[in-house]
Structure 1
């Protein structure tokens, strides 16, 4: 019998879908916040393979439950790409430890073709929130950090809360960078409402849709046996679907902006569409802050983060007022264009009418000049109000 140091807790044994002889337990997978094992159980000369994560850290219970609930939901939507979860629970022998149990799948670290992945991700994004709100029914984890999934009425509220939390998470490692602190205040005053509130105002709206939440190349691989896509380690909640592109703006990821552009072309994006790239840049900042908080060696991205924040502040210096003013200008221009069109149309109609009444000098032509209310002369349409 080839076994590792793991002893199957009674709670794990009870959760297994088959009962038989444990013939092998071995460490498996690159897991940062848990320990992964492959378990082989023999039943009537047939081997059954399972994968289990052991979580021995703070929030172990919520980590296991969040993954189970996320994977259960996604398996309903894209069963061809999701290994069905079996169970999660706490150890009977040590109530500080939790486990997540699923079926074993041998994976290739290459990510699947973009076409295949877009089909899968767009299916996930079609799932709408059962409450009509932004959030999730349990906490989920972005790496080791809990996401506050408390239900919100607006995406701006949900994302602002998450971005603030990510900045605070990074600041603990950065030892409270004063420049970043000042930038963040201006950023939340100007840029965040400027880019997010137009999604849900002015006749526009977005539906809270399921997002994978941690979509990057390490979590999107290929089954070695079937060569089908395999997705895992999600951080699900109901949010703005464009949020799933947060890990695709940097060269440090192999799943990159080529995927984003193809998704935009094949599936589409939210309105205002012309601000899509800036919204993705905003979402990418959240990922960068979180990366710095998890991995101190990545504090090197701080200069890039500050540069992006400054770029967006410079681009939107008037915040939401700038959007309102721009919308008013566009509406006024549209009004003037429509008014001019109506005026020119009426000129043609009245000119046509004048040709049908010959010799009547008392009927004013469409080019009559009459005094305006200000006393100046102005062209006026016949029958105008």
Structure 2
């Protein structure tokens, strides 16, 4: 692997938690809106490894302009919110499941280029394979136990599902939050689909009839759901294992407080390795919301949001449009009267298996994922501590341009 010629921006240098000589910087992973670097710093003959993700609104601009075929005004705020959203999500994830989350260090804006932001963390070698179902169920169920601090649906900062910003403004009801997000996803896809007229009419009927019919019962008829934390981008590419410890490792969340079943949105298609087998295991071991008999249809509803987003992100996946229309028609035919076809029993109470489940000890992670085992097996370079916020990192000794 060749050393990259990148010279670290002073803002990244200031955020690094150690002082020493930068002996190598390697390109490590990228997307259409970000690119990553592995940084190796030597201190007393010991190497300390970090990972920095560089988020550039310029790269987003060029990608969107060519993909969507229209110009969108993007400025440094886009890069800033990408970095901040990931940092805030990872801070929360690390507090809940430190055994599976590399602790975040800092985020900030470049000093030398106002169009760029960065997210800094510790480097960890990962293998692209899924952890055991038992391990992943325990981790995800711990996330899903975290209740919203406001009692509302949303998040305190915007987060990004890929390159698209999620409007996390606080909502009183899940139906309101999800309806807003679904409309946004449809509009995102329509830009690539060049405003498919059939889809436009279908979407209006679907949102008017099916969305309230499937989501309103969660919060009426004596039922209520509390907004719980969701990972927000739970698919196989964001779930891997540590190459040394073999412990589960999760990353790139798109967090908000919502309905926990939403996290199954990427698990209904054969294009994902993490699929419906996991969904049913989670349902059987942890539980789902009432009415349980409508669980599959709720998951199908959430999966449509992901399909719309996928089409908007990657034009090659517009091939799923026929499937999307078929699913929308299926649910419209199943619930043609919308809320008018709903019989509400006010005596029902929301005694879901999810909220009553005592089979899982959420405070006792599986042995393979404990902090202690991770440290013993070679992760002692990754401390578990409170992350650094921008401006609180120590100032590193000046680095020569040729040291990278």
TM-score bin, normalised by smaller chain: 0.7 to 0.9
Residue 172 (structure 1) aligned to one of 176, 179, 191: 191
2:221 is aligned with 1:199 = no
Q: Quick one: higher RCO (CA 8 Å, sep 6+), 1 or 2?
A: 2
Deviations along 1:311-346, one digit per CA (max 9) or x if unpaired, are 00000011011013xx46x99xxxxxxxxxxxxxxx
- 1:114 deviates by 1.1
Matched, 1:92 2:111: yes
Match of 2:272 in 1: 253
Is 2:33 the partner of 1:14? no
CA distance in 2, matches of 1:223, 1:31: 21
Normalising by structure 2, report the TM-score: 0.80
Identify unmatched segments of 5+ residues in structure 2: 58-73, 349-404
Distance 2:297 2:142 in 1: 24
Moved over 3 A (4+): none
**Secondary structure of the corresponding residue to residue 246 of structure 2:** coil
Q: Is the 8 A contact 1:213 1:236 kept in 2?
A: yes
Corresponding pairs, count: 329
| 3-state SS in 2 of match to 1:270 | coil
User: For 1:16-73, what per-residue CA distance to the aligned partner results, in whole angstroms no more than 9, with x for missing partners?
Assistant: 0011111110011243420100000001111000000011114100000000000000
Counterpart contact for 1:210–1:239, Cα < 8 Å? yes
Q: Contact (CA 8 Å) 1:2, 1:24: kept in 2 or not? A: no
| CA distance in 2: counterparts of 1:117 and 1:5, whole angstroms | 38
Q: Does 1:323 align with 2:342?
A: yes
Could you tell me how far apart the structure 1 residues matched to 2:170 and 2:223 are?
Answer: 21
CA shift digits 1:239-265 (9 cap, x unpaired): 000000000000000000000000000
Shift of 1:189: 1.1
- Which of 142, 147, 167 aligns to 2:166? It is 147
- Aligned-pair distance for 1:111? 1.1
Deviations 1:257-281 (A, max 9, x none): 0000000000000000000000000
Question: C-alpha distance in 2, partners of 1:88/1:111?
Answer: 28
Query: Could you tell me which residue of structure 2 aligns to residue 120 of structure 1?
Result: 139
Deviations 1:270-326 (CA, angstroms, capped at 9, x unpaired): 0000000000000000000000000001000000000000000000011011013xx
Q: Which stretch shows the higher mean deviation, 91-100 or 139-148?
A: 91-100
- TM-score normalised by length of structure 1: 0.84
Corresponding residue for residue 276 of structure 1: 295
2:62 corresponding residue in structure 1:
none
Counterpart-to-counterpart distance in 1, 2:216 and 2:231: 23
Distance of 2:325 and 2:133 partners within structure 1: 31
Gaps of 5+ in 1: 332-385
**Are the counterparts in 2 of residues 2 and 23 from structure 1 also a CA contact under 8 Å?**
no
The alignment's C-alpha RMSD in Å is: 1.5
Partner of 1:77: 96
Partner of 2:178: 159
DSSP 3-state at the match of 1:29: strand
Shift of 1:2: 5.9
Q: Are 1:134 and 2:153 matched, yes or no?
A: yes
Residue equivalent to 2:247: 228
